[in-house]
Amino acid sequence: MTEKLSPIVSEFETEELAANYDRWFREKVEKAMSSDKPGIPHDEVMAGARKIIEQAKARRKMA
Protein backbone atom coordinates (compact mmCIF):
# COMPACT_ATOMS: atom_id res chain seq x y z
CA MET A 1 0.00 0.00 0.00
CA THR A 2 1.27 3.45 -0.85
CA GLU A 3 1.45 6.28 1.61
CA LYS A 4 -1.33 8.90 1.45
CA LEU A 5 -0.14 12.40 0.63
CA SER A 6 -1.40 15.61 2.19
CA PRO A 7 -3.46 17.80 -0.19
CA ILE A 8 -1.35 20.71 1.04
CA VAL A 9 1.81 19.00 -0.25
CA SER A 10 0.55 17.26 -3.41
CA GLU A 11 -2.40 17.24 -5.76
CA PHE A 12 -2.18 13.43 -5.81
CA GLU A 13 -3.65 11.13 -3.17
CA THR A 14 -0.75 8.71 -3.08
CA GLU A 15 2.93 8.57 -3.97
CA GLU A 16 2.11 5.86 -6.51
CA LEU A 17 -0.30 8.17 -8.35
CA ALA A 18 2.26 10.98 -8.30
CA ALA A 19 4.95 8.67 -9.69
CA ASN A 20 2.61 7.38 -12.42
CA TYR A 21 1.76 10.91 -13.49
CA ASP A 22 5.43 11.93 -13.48
CA ARG A 23 6.33 8.94 -15.65
CA TRP A 24 3.47 9.68 -18.09
CA PHE A 25 4.38 13.38 -18.28
CA ARG A 26 8.07 12.71 -18.90
CA GLU A 27 7.20 10.25 -21.69
CA LYS A 28 4.96 12.86 -23.37
CA VAL A 29 7.68 15.53 -23.16
CA GLU A 30 10.36 13.17 -24.50
CA LYS A 31 8.11 12.16 -27.40
CA ALA A 32 7.35 15.80 -28.23
CA MET A 33 11.00 16.80 -28.05
CA SER A 34 12.07 14.00 -30.39
CA SER A 35 9.25 14.65 -32.88
CA ASP A 36 10.05 15.64 -36.46
CA LYS A 37 6.79 17.63 -36.76
CA PRO A 38 7.25 21.35 -37.35
CA GLY A 39 6.59 23.61 -34.38
CA ILE A 40 3.54 25.85 -34.17
CA PRO A 41 4.31 29.58 -34.15
CA HIS A 42 3.64 31.33 -30.84
CA ASP A 43 1.20 33.82 -32.38
CA GLU A 44 -0.88 30.98 -33.83
CA VAL A 45 -1.05 29.19 -30.47
CA MET A 46 -2.03 32.40 -28.68
CA ALA A 47 -4.75 33.17 -31.25
CA GLY A 48 -6.21 29.70 -30.66
CA ALA A 49 -6.08 30.17 -26.89
CA ARG A 50 -7.82 33.56 -27.14
CA LYS A 51 -10.56 32.00 -29.27
CA ILE A 52 -11.14 29.26 -26.67
CA ILE A 53 -11.28 31.85 -23.87
CA GLU A 54 -13.76 34.03 -25.76
CA GLN A 55 -15.96 31.01 -26.48
CA ALA A 56 -15.94 30.07 -22.80
CA LYS A 57 -16.88 33.64 -21.82
CA ALA A 58 -19.75 33.62 -24.31
CA ARG A 59 -21.06 30.29 -22.94
CA ARG A 60 -20.86 31.65 -19.40
CA LYS A 61 -22.92 34.71 -20.35
CA MET A 62 -25.60 32.45 -21.87
CA ALA A 63 -25.85 30.27 -18.76
Query: From residue 31, how far is each of 3, 13, 41, 50 by CA, in Å?
Result: 30, 27, 19, 27
pLDDT in tens, 35-63: 999 999 999 999 999 999 999 999 999 98
pTM: 0.56
Beta bridge partners of 4: 14
Tens of pLDDT along 16-34? 999 999 999 999 999 999 9
